[in-house]
Structure formats: C-alpha cells, structure tokens
C-alpha cells in the first residue's frame, strides 16, 4: 500500500506572518484527512514558525531546497539539511525545475543534495520532468529516466525508502495546463518501470510518485484515479488554505 502524499509548494511566497496564518487556517480543514500525508513547504524563513504551530497536527513541513554539502561550514547563503531538521522540517524538495532552470542545478548537484538530505534524516521529494520541446521530440521518458539515474544512482535500499519522486512536466507548471489523467498515468507507469530497471526493482513497487503541474480542486479527482499516481505536488493552488484543503479532501 502506498499512502498518498498531498504536498503544497509555496515557492517564494508569503512572509512569516502570512505563512503561519495560512498554516493555522489549513489545520482544522484537513484534520480528518487520514487517507493521505499532508505536507506544506513554506520559505526557509517561515519554516520554524510554521513547524512550531503545526506540532501535534497531521500536517508535516517540508523545505524547498537544501545545501549540497552535509556539514556546516563556509557556504555563504546556503542552509544545510540538518538545519532544516533542526527547525522541524521532515521533508525537503530537491531538483525542482525552477532550481534547474534559474539556478543552473544539474543532476550532479541534485544528487549531492539528495545525499545530504538523506544523511540528515529527511524524506526527499525529488522533482523530475521534461520540457515542452523534449515532449514534442518524443524523448520525455528518456529525459526523466536520465534524471532518475543521475540523481538517485548508487543509493542503498534503505535510502530509497525515503525517496519520493514528483513528476512535474515543465509545460504544466504554473501554466493552467495540467497533464490529463491519461498523460499523467502513462508517464507515472513508465517512471515506475524506469525506476525498477535503473534504480531498484524491489523499491519500485513502493515508490511514491507524485504528479505536479497546475493541480487544482477541479482536476485532482481525475489525476488521483491513476493507479500509479500516489499524490500531488501543488504550487499555486496550495497558497490558499481553502483551495489546498479541497485538494487534500478530494475523496469527500
Ligand atoms: P503549479 O506548480 O501547481 O503552480 O503548477 C507546481 C510546482 O511547481 O510544484
């Protein structure tokens, strides 16, 4: 059984005050959601305040990135994975396409971040996904399989237990054009197959694969009906507590 994860990626939105207010508004709205793990990812500066206020609730906190090096040291501007644990995060998103695109993150850097995060005891939400051009050229499966190999190659079976993959086609992020349930299910099936072939045959069966890209309250049900779709990573529609709660409670 793969318990679904419904995660909200708040990106670079909200002050500490706004983050706490949204988290507190969300808390009662998803208090009965036992069918899934609920996760929110505020900006670094709000992590501790949000995590403190959510203690004892069923909402877990994620960071949106971490340093590629595990130890503290002379790394101006970076935040180490253990520091994220220290403020109450239990997950970290790595390899988001915005990091790859705007900050030049390569699979090699992302692999280091994955190692650092696992070393600190975090669960890792690794983002993969193809561009529109790559999809038009019919190489989307190769692209995603390459990202999996580049970011997860060499991990042990117990490390892989703490890996969650988020399939986020770049053409669907923030565009309002989500993958159809059929497109998403097809890719998720192929990702599971690629994971079995290239990373771990046994791990593939319990690997949770989330879909991300323009998930909204009105398309969540269709997406979650896919046999290989084990949850979602939501950007824009997670910023409002009411909208995100509708996504979490999609089964009602
Ligand atoms: P979106 O973002 O839901 O706003 O498309 C998803 C993401 O980037 O994780």
pLDDT of residue 1: 83
Q: Give the residue carrying structure tokens 């877990």.
A: 60
Please give the Cα distance from 63 to 81 (Å, whole number).
Answer: 9
pLDDT category at 50 given cuts 50, 70, 90 is very high
CA 204 to chain CA mean position, Å: 17
pLDDT digits (tens, 9 = 90+) for 62-77: 999 999 999 999 999 9
Q: Which atom of ligand 1 approaches the CA of 97 most closely?
A: 8
Q: Which of 37, 96, 98, 105 is catalytic?
A: 96
| CB of 67 closer than 8 Å to CB of 96 | no
140 is catalytic: no
Q: Cβ(215) to ligand 1 under 6 A?
A: yes
Number of C-alpha atoms within 13 angstroms, CB side, residue 76?
0
Cα(169) to centroid(ligand 1), Å: 10
Q: Cβ(235) to ligand 1 under 6 A?
A: yes
Q: Cβ(8) to ligand 1 under 6 A?
A: no
- Transcribe 124-136 into DSSP letters: EEEEE---HHHHH
Q: Cβ(4) to ligand 1 under 6 A?
A: no
> For residue 143, is pLDDT > 90?
yes
- Helix (H) or strand (E) run with residue 241 in it: helix 241-248
72 is catalytic: no
Q: Which atom of ligand 1 approaches the CA of 212 most closely?
A: 6
Q: Which of 37, 130, 168, 188 is catalytic?
A: 168
| CB of 61 closer than 8 Å to CB of 86 | no
Mean pLDDT of 125-153: 97
Cα(197) to centroid(ligand 1), Å: 28
pLDDT of residue 220: 98
pLDDT category at 237 given cuts 50, 70, 90 is very high
Q: Cβ(121) to ligand 1 under 6 A?
A: no
pTM attached to this predicted model: 0.98
pLDDT digits (tens, 9 = 90+) for 63-120: 999 999 999 999 999 999 999 999 999 999 999 999 999 999 999 999 999 999 999 9
């Amino acid at each position: 059984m793969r318990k679904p994860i419904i995660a909200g990626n708040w990106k670079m939105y909200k002050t500490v005050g706004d983050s706490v207010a949204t988290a507190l508004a969300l808390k009662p709205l998803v208090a009965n959601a036992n069918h899934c793990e609920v996760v929110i990812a505020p900006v670094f500066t709000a992590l501790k305040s949000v995590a403190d206020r959510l203690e004892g609730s069923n909402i877990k906190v994620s960071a949106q990135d971490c340093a590629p090096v595990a130890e503290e040291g002379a790394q101006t501007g970076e935040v180490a994975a253990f520091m994220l644990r220290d403020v109450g995060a239990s997950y970290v998103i790595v390899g988001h396409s915005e990091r790859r695109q705007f900050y030049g993150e390569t699979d090699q850097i992302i692999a280091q971040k994955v190692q650092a995060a696992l070393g600190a005891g975090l669960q890792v939400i690794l983002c993969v996904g193809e561009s529109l051009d790559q999809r038009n050229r019919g190489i989307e499966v190769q692209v995603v399989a390459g990202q999996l190999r580049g970011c997860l190659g060499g991990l042990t079976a117990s490390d892989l237990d703490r890996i969650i993959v988020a399939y986020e086609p770049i053409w669907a992020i923030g565009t309002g054009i989500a993958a159809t349930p059929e497109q998403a299910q097809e890719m998720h099936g192929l990702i599971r197959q690629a994971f079995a072939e290239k990373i771990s045959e046994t791990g593939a069966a319990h690997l949770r694969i989330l879909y991300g890209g323009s998930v909204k309250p009105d398309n969540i049900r269709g997406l979650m009906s896919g046999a290989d779709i084990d949850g979602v990573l939501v950007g824009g529609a997670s910023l409002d507590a009411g909208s995100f709660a509708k996504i979490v409670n999609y089964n009602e």
